[in-house]
Amino acid sequence: ADGSGEHENHAAHAFSPLVRFVWPVNGWYRGFKVELVDSAGNELPQHLMHHLVGVDFAHRQLLEPDLVRFIASGVETHNVVLPRIMGVPMKSGQQLGIYAGWHNPGAKDYEGVYIRLAMPYLPSNTLVKPIEVFPVQMDVDNTPGQPNVYDLPPGKSSRTFEFKMPIAGRFLGIGGHMHDYGVDLQLEDAGTGKVLSRVATERDSLGHVLSVGRKYYPVLGLHMDAGHSYKVVGTYDTP
């Protein structure tokens, strides 16, 4: 956030074309590192990029009828790199793509802006094979193929996405993406209402979201039961 008082609006974003590429080797993908630079290689403010998304054309998501996102980086999202004992399996020739949304709320124009993306990986001949893990998306505005936007009423409000786990498993880490005035995201048991996990935002005095917290469950994980209903709740507080 630039602190100018301007609040983000999806209609103001400039979207890049989809850039397709092929994953070159058998192995395990471990995450991403993103930075913005100008044509001379000088680092630029992160807030110029609202989001960077990486999609895997070979796989569907666990909970939603959409392509797997192997990258989900936002203006408030830090880089994600898994420990060497974990990795997302990737095959040589796997069809992937990336696209970005640009957002410059400030008065200064920038020319020749580039996204520099690094994707650490482990090759298939790695001596100690990692535990295979997979990204899962839970979206409170679950409308694949439609603009992912909705209006906020004045005051406190929330929006939910309820889902049933198709398989048992364990979440090892939870993060999130929220727009201005976002307060927190909660994962709840849909039957009992028990809060299983919560990540809160850091905001400035104008309500700009500066960051969204993360929770890690590295040892035993956060257990999810097959066939059980859960829900994600996103809460906002709009003046």
Task: Look at residues 116, 182, 109 and name the one whose alpha carbon lies nearest to residue 150.
Answer: 182
pLDDT bracket for residue 2 (50, 70, 90): very low
pLDDT value of residue 4? 44
pLDDT tens digits, one per residue of 195-219: 999 999 999 999 989 899 999 998 8
Please give the angle made by the CA atoms of 120, 201 and 145, to the nearest 5 degrees. Answer: 65
pLDDT tens digits, one per residue of 112-162: 899 999 999 999 999 999 999 999 999 998 777 777 788 899 999 999 999
| Mean pLDDT, the chain, integer | 90
* CA distance linking residue 95 with residue 93, whole number of Å: 6
pLDDT value of residue 103? 85
pLDDT tens digits, one per residue of 89-110: 999 999 999 999 998 878 888 8
* CA distance linking residue 10 with residue 143, whole number of Å: 15
Place of tokens 């906002």: 236
* CA distance linking residue 117 with residue 195, whole number of Å: 35
**What's the average model confidence in pLDDT over 65-72?**
92
pTM: 0.85
Q: In Å, how far are 23, 101, 193, 227, 230 from 164, measured between CA atoms?
A: 32, 31, 14, 6, 6
pLDDT bracket for residue 3 (50, 70, 90): very low
Please give the angle made by the CA atoms of 20, 23 and 29, to the nearest 5 degrees. Answer: 120
Q: Are strands 14-15 and 49-60 parallel, antiparallel or unpaired?
A: unpaired
